[in-house]
Structure 1
Amino acid sequence: MKLVTLAIICVLMLNSCKNKSQEEPQNQVKVEKIEYASFGKEIVASDAIAAKSMASHYKTMKTGDSIDSKMVAKVNNVCQAKGCWMRLDLDDGNEVMVKFKDYGFFVPKDITGKEVIINGKAFVKEVSVDEQRHYAEDAGKSAEEIAKIIEPKRTYSFEADGVLVVQ
Structure 2
Amino acid sequence: MKFFLSFVAVLVAILLYIRFVPSAPINPVLPVEQGQEEVNGHNSEVPKGSGEEEEAGEENHSSTSIAPVAPGQTYGAAISPDGALPMTALNTALGARDSAQVKLVGKASAVCQAKGCWMTLPTADGKEMRVRFKDYGFFVPKDLSGHDVVVSGWAYRSTVPKSELQHYAKDAGKSEKEVAAITQDEQQLTFMADGVRVVN
TM-score by length of 2: 0.62
In structure 1, the partner of 2:194 is: 161
State the partner residue of 1:51.
87
Write out the 4+ residue segments of structure 1 that deviate beyond 6 Å after TM superposition. Answer: none
- How far 1:56 moved relative to its partner? 3.7
Q: Tell me the equivalent position of 1:111.
A: 144
How far, CA to CA, are the matches of 1:115 and 1:107 in structure 2? 13
Aligned to 1:86: 119
The answer as to 2:168 corresponding to 1:135 is: yes
User: Percent of aligned pairs with the same residue?
Assistant: 44
Please report how far the alpha carbon of residue 95 of structure 1 lies from its aligned counterpart in structure 2 after TM superposition: 1.6
One-letter amino acid of the structure 1 residue matched with residue 125 of structure 2: D
Aligned match for 1:40, one of 76, 80, 84: 76
Q: CA RMSD in A?
A: 1.6
Q: Deviation of residue 166 (structure 1)?
A: 2.1
Q: Which has the higher strand share?
A: 1
- Which deviations, in whole Å up to 9, do the C-alpha atoms of 1:77-125 show, x marking residues without a partner? 0000010000001233122100000000000000111100000000010
Contact 1:58 1:124 in 2 (8 A): no
Larger relative helix fraction: 1
How much does 1:165 deviate? Answer: 1.0
Pick from 154, 166, 183 the counterpart of residue 150 of structure 1. Answer: 183
Instruction: Select the structure of larger CA radius of gyration.
Output: 1
Q: 1:146 is paired with a residue of what secondary structure?
A: helix
- Greater shift in the superposed pair: 45-54 or 35-44: 35-44
1 or 2 for the larger relative contact order (CA 8 Å, sep ≥6)? Answer: 1
Shift of 1:58: 4.9
Gaps of 5+ in 2: 1-69
Take 2:152 and 2:76, find their aligned partners in 1: how far apart are those partners? 10
- If the length of structure 1 is used for normalisation, what is the TM-score? 0.74
CA distance in structure 1 between the aligned counterparts of 2:124 and 2:144, rounded to whole angstroms: 18
